Amino acid sequence: MQALRNIEPGLEPQYLYYWSFNEETLEPHIAVDEVGAGIAFVGKNTEPDFVGGFGLAPVEAGRALSITGAKSLEISLPMQEIESLTAFDFDISSSGTGPKDFSLSYSVDDGNTYEVLSATNPFGTSTRDRYSFDISSFPQFIGIGMLKLKFEFFAGDRGEGSDYNENTGTLKLDNIRVSGVYNTEVEPGDPTIPSTLHYYIFSAADGSVIQQQSMAMDVLGEDGTLDVKLAEGRYDVLFLAYRSDKGVLLPEDLTNANAYYFGQHFDDHRAVTYSVLLEDVEVAGSDAVETATLTRCYSRVEFDFTDLSTDLQAVKKIVVTRGHDNYLYTPFGTPANLPMSDAQSITFSGFDRPADYQIALNQFFGPLDGTKNVSYELTAYGEGDVVLNTVTISQDMGNNVRLRLSGRLLGNSGTINGFAVALDTDWGEVLDREF
């Protein structure tokens, strides 16, 4: 299983791998596969050193990788599910006695053989040289397990500069990044529309399960008709439709309506959920069509931070922690056994541009008469997980509501510490399905 870090599937080119070194580790800041990606080097020092780095907006000039007596460096890039590549970029410099040239080669067979990508690439002394290689025309990089990019460093043309010392000269690398398209997990259709339909048919007399089935929404076809054969009688019919990144909360091996529940994990913040309960549906001796109109089971909570964009760049991570219960939909009464979700918080990171700081979550309620209270604690973290500020918001709200929260995330660093609350209830989209 791939371990994504600070990246979501998309149809446009983006950073697939990015080493900023600002945390003083060799772990990537962005990765399609954080576990499989890596950097290994051969040099005088066997452990990496880190020095002042080069800025690359919106990432600040934090730290950079420094290697004394650098001989070679190899970057491992898992390529599973990557659709295309565009560029390989980085910043490089060296001390007066460090290397002034490098070759770049690649391997598509896990390091058994290498092909030269660029034989000679001179760079300067104690300055910033930016390199960018177009890797869009290498089809052999796509569809493989691992791509390896290997640097080999040598003296180069030193002009009137210092002599090369392969043991004490230092090399500096920063902002190593690979760009391309990763969209394997993008499901077809609108991501705000459910992808799965699940229905339950219970006996209206005793709640026993008569039928249940789960299917892809597109199985229904354009008219949305679902054929179900039932004996004469009365039934309670429950339809669910959802799209989830982490799996919704539903009972396994359900035998009676009194054990039914429906919900989502709090950190499944993009989940969309719909439902409708048709009670006491009578099935007679002739064919009939009943219309089932599914409505939302969640509200949309949006955070719009009014801090200056330059101030927000200090925020590297925002953690939203719930202070309320993890609500469930239990239309047949409270079951004896309810699921316990360990998900208490959502982490937002990977902020590359001001628009990325506009975060949102889908808060599950289920069909609801009236309101329930929600409470969120927002914690802003800077470099090194330093807490910059904490804001707590409490609000009563109903289901199928768009709650927009605007205010300063960084609190006392500005002139306003709090949020303006506005409810936008005009959110009337529904799904029509017949069975």
Q: Strand, helix or coil at 140? A: helix
d(CA 421, CA 330): 29
Do β-strands 170-181 and 129-134 pair in parallel, antiparallel, or remain unpaired? Answer: unpaired
Give the mean pLDDT of the chain: 87
- Whether omega before 58 lies within 30 degrees of 0, making that bond cis, reads yes
* Residue 435, in any domain of the structure: no
* Residue 60, in any domain of the structure: yes
CA 385 to chain centre: 19
Give per-residue pLDDT as tens, 182-217: 986 544 556 788 888 999 999 999 999 999 988 888
- Considering the domain architecture, whether residues 233 and 156 belong to the same structural domain is answered as no
Least confident of 354-368, 381-395, 402-416: 402-416
The yes-or-no verdict on residue 29 having pLDDT over 60 is yes
- Considering the domain architecture, whether residues 35 and 153 belong to the same structural domain is answered as yes
- pLDDT computed for residue 392 by the predictor: 92
- Considering the domain architecture, whether residues 409 and 419 belong to the same structural domain is answered as yes
Asked if 93 and 127 count as a contact pair (C-beta separation under 8 A), the reply is: yes
- Considering the domain architecture, whether residues 58 and 202 belong to the same structural domain is answered as no
DSSP one-letter string for 243-281: E-SS--B--SS--BGGG--BB--TT-TT-EEEEEEEEEE
Last residue of a domain, one of 258, 273, 296: 296
- Considering the domain architecture, whether residues 272 and 232 belong to the same structural domain is answered as yes
222 pLDDT band (50/70/90 cuts)? low
- CATH code at position 173: 2.60.120.200
- pLDDT computed for residue 432 by the predictor: 40
State mean pLDDT over 144-157.
93
Number of domains in the chain: 3
Give per-residue pLDDT as tens, 36-47: 799 999 999 888
* Residue 95, in any domain of the structure: yes
The residue segments making up the domain with residue 331 are: 298-424
